Structure 1
Amino acid sequence: MPVIATAAWSIPRTVAHRFPETGSGLTRYAAVFSGVEINSTFYRHHRTTTFERWAQSVPDDFRFAVKVPRAITHEHRLRDIHPLFTTFLDEISPLTGKLGPLLCQLPPGLEFDAAEAESAFAAMRAAFAGMLVLEPRHESWASQSARAVLQRHDIDRVLADPAPVWPIPDFPDPPKYIRLHGTPRIYYSNYSDEEIRSFGKRLAPDSWCVFDNTASGAAIQNALTMRDQLA
């Protein structure tokens, strides 16, 4: 079954009855879902003991997708990132064995530059052999040359909603990673059952689908709906 997840693991009261009553928020979440996307790594560093605690709080088959720090994507804008990326991998090393994809989300103003992208993704691949997924937000990344660089370094494209770069027709095969931010109001809007069913049909057994419409608390409810539909 695909990994159905949310960005972070906050459980609204409206759906609390679907989860165990006791335990930490993550433990309760992991009793229902098989994965989660950690967004906080984008904004700040965490102690290794924090990652150790999280890893110990979930079942053996649970997986963490982790967002690459903004120092790499937004501040350095993919330039000279090798030291920053290896430091990031060291910090999240306690998740080894439970680590899923690394999510690299680019700023809207970062245009595709073949040489810089080649260098950055080569550095990432030299240090990390697992799943890497990319969510750019500048239309220049829709080019065939950008696609070629990603394919060369085995980096999967994110099917995002809204989709600033790669719309649904650009994915003839099941995407490895879907991020649903909420439409029309990003981070807030709820998805209808039919919309959720439509995205669910695009998933392969090894796909991830992450609901990022967390600001209104809709993410958990939508994720539960998709999980029930695919069960």
Structure 2
Amino acid sequence: MTEIPKTLRVGTAGWSIPAAQADRFPGKGSHLQRYSQRLPAVEINSSFYRPHRTSTYARWAASVPADFRFAVKVPKEITHTRRLANATEPLARFLEEVSLLGPKLGPLLIQLPPSLVFHQDLVSEFLQNLRNSFAGDLACEPRHPSWFTDAVDAMLSEHRVARVAADPAPVPRAAEPGGWPALTYFRLHGSPRMYYSPYPQAYLERLRHQLSSLNGEVWCIFDNTAEGAATHDALVVAA
């Protein structure tokens, strides 16, 4: 079997443990503590909907092993309500909150609304402001077709931002990673029914082989969590 690179981080969106998979997460403690003994990473999606206290992030960081990493989704106030404009204040607040994850902070995920058309000046200004305050990894999941061009990928790369490879893909190019090549970030939402459908075993094996061929920091997050499929799929790929 192809060896998985040490930089590969496979996980799910959130760390709930479905009852059907509970026996694969033995031990005592919180769901996060048990989850972190089997999978090396998780994506915090709740930050998209509401802020968390700095003490909450600090508690989460203290409860997982040293090599565990959290990706954190940027709040919808920034991406969907303000649509990247005039976001200095909520962005500063968010960065202060997540800083309490310390060295266990992985990429920040910028998921954009499907209606957000690419505008060079707007996006460049937002990313430059973000980069002025944050030197860590960034991944962007655009969903409007205007984002999937060579020029946009080049601009993202200049700001050291990886473009997410998504399934289902809104356009064919969205299925492949782009932007900054030192970080590769897959988000698998489930298909044909988003958030519900499990992935077939053959798909997971092909994905595992694909991930093993990549260099740099590689993330693969399963978001088909509605009926617990994400946990099973992540365990298969991380095995």
Amino acid across the alignment from 1:199: L
What is the TM-score normalised by the length of structure 1?
0.94
Q: How far 1:169 moved relative to its partner?
A: 5.5
Amino acid across the alignment from 2:207: F
What is the TM-score normalised by the length of structure 2?
0.91
Q: 1:180 aligns with which of 177, 188, 198?
A: 188
Aligned equivalent of 1:47: 53
Work out whether 1:26 is the aligned partner of 2:32: yes
Unaligned ranges ≥5, structure 2: 1-5
Unaligned ranges ≥5, structure 1: none
Q: In 2, distance between residues paired with 1:136 and 1:28?
A: 32
Equivalent residues of 1:117, 1:149 under 8 A apart: no
Aligned equivalent of 1:98: 104
Work out whether 1:80 is the aligned partner of 2:86: yes
Aligned equivalent of 1:202: 210
Q: 2:71 aligns with which of 42, 60, 65?
A: 65
Q: In 2, distance between residues paired with 1:12 and 1:147?
A: 37
Q: Which consecutive aligned stretches of 4+ in structure 1 deviate over 2 angstroms post-superposition?
A: 165-171
Q: What per-residue deviation string (whole Å, max 9, x for no partner) do you get for residues 93-112 of structure 1?
A: 11011000000000000000
Equivalent residues of 2:10, 2:221 under 8 A apart: yes
Q: In 2, distance between residues paired with 1:175 and 1:118?
A: 19
Judged with a 3 Å threshold, the aligned counterparts in structure 2 of structure 1 residues 108 and 142 are, in CA distance, closer, same or farther, namely same
Work out whether 1:35 is the aligned partner of 2:46: no
Q: Percent identity?
A: 48
Work out whether 1:89 is the aligned partner of 2:95: yes
Q: In 1, distance between residues paired with 2:169 and 2:183?
A: 13
Q: How many pairs were matched up?
A: 228
SS in 2 for 1:64: strand
Judged with a 3 Å threshold, the aligned counterparts in structure 2 of structure 1 residues 169 and 95 are, in CA distance, closer, same or farther, namely closer
Q: 2:162 aligns with which of 129, 135, 156?
A: 156
